[in-house]
Amino acid sequence: EKGGYASFMHKEIAEQPRAVADTLLGRIGADGALILDELRIPAAELREVDKVVVVACGTAFHAGLIAKYAIEHWTRLPCEVELASEFRYRDPILDARSLVIAISQSGETMDTLMALRHAREQGSRVLAICNTNGSTIPRESDAVLYTHAGPEVAVASTKAFLTQLVACYLVALYLGQARGTKWGDEVLGVVRDLADIAGAVERVLGDMEPVRELARSLAGAGTVLFLGRHVGYPVALEGALKLKELAYMHAEGFAAGELKHGPIALVEEGLPVVVVVPSPRGRCVLHDKIVSNIQEIRARGARTIVIAEEGDDAVLPYADHVVRVPVTPTLLQPLVTTVPLQVFACELAVARGNEVDQPRNLAKSVTVE
């Protein structure tokens, strides 16, 4: 039931604060330590892991790309992320010490299933991050961490993505906890920040009317580019994927640092470019670099749509439109910066008269290779 919303996608976007909170529920102890006994992988085995490999498709793959930053930072384990459809065809190097994480909303995606079967044949442990109880991928995995997004009906994935991110952060922190790396004030702090994130998502959702208005004004555009850096880069990819799926528009996501290596040639008068700006705190080098990118593309006529943290005024001189997101620790930022991009794509689909829940040519779960 759509519960009064215009579409399931509208409803599922709105449900994200609850989905995030539900995915954290019962998994953080009163002392801030993580309780993930449900994984049933003994800590001793987690200490033996020497590499993490994430396999997934589409939006779940983007969650994996973001997970890499968190896993490598918090566990100091190397992490590869690969499209499930490519994985087994390149003879990947795997053994009993590799931990393979398969991310899937439906738990029925054939490419992801075949990738995990291949990993198990090589003797690797497979951990599924999945939203659908009892589906094939968790059944065939050694362990599962369920996301508690509730049923996702719209073909375009929204709330499942946010909860996949939460699950990935939990796994990364848990691995760090089990391995004793970086487990201290920093990680406890992150757990506290995670507990606040549902409220931050709620705040973003409360201020989306300007994004909808902007989307409506772009209904006639042919192409939209998305730029990001660090964890903002997969967010840019996800923003572009949503727009393709829903608005049937040409959209591409780029790492902002790649601009000069090619994509800047696409920039022309009036081209809408969405830029996901990292926090000016912490990694401020990246922030400054992306502000120069915004300046460069604006000088070439781009219409700049900037997603930036509250209080980040450095972007103002070069932004045609600013979308504000709450101050959030860098690694967790995708949980808030993705939301305006979902709303943007959804509204553009409506403005272009497209079927929001059932985009043409797509199926909710892709059960063939």
Q: Please report, as a single letter, which amino acid is at residue 340.
A: P
Choosing from 12, 20, 58, 205, the residue that interacts with ligand M6R (CB under 6 A) is 58
* Burial of 272: CB neighbours in 10 Å, binned 0-12, 13-18, 19+: buried
Among 151-159, 178-186, 218-226, 257-265, the segment contacting ligand M6R (CB under 6 A): 151-159
Q: Judged by CB under 6 A, does residue 157 bind ligand M6R?
A: yes
Residue 19 engages ligand M6R in binding (rule: CB under 6 A): no
- Residue 222: Cβ-neighbour burial (10 angstroms; 0-12, 13-18, 19+): exposed
Residue 113 contacts ligand M6R per CB under 6 A: no
Q: Does 337 bind ligand M6R (CB under 6 A)?
A: no
Region near ligand M6R per CB under 6 A, out of 69-77, 150-158, 210-218, 253-261: 150-158
**176 interacts with ligand M6R by CB under 6 A:** no
Compute the CA torsion angle 130, 136, 137, 139 (nearest 10 deg).
90
Query: Least Å distance between CB 92 and ligand M6R?
Result: 19
AA identity, residue 233: Y
Number of residues that bind ligand M6R (CB under 6 A): 16
Binding-site string for ligand M6R from residue 218 to residue 247, where x marks contact by CB under 6 A and - marks none? ---------------------------x--
Residue 177 Cβ, how far from ligand M6R at the closest point, in Å? Answer: 26
Catalytic status, residue 364: yes
Which residue lies nearest ligand M6R, judged by its C-beta? 58
Tell me how far apart the alpha carbons of residues 240 and 243 are, in angstroms, rounded to a whole number. Answer: 5
Site residues (CB under 6 A) for ligand M6R?
A: 57-60, 104-106, 109, 112, 155-157, 245, 362, 365-366
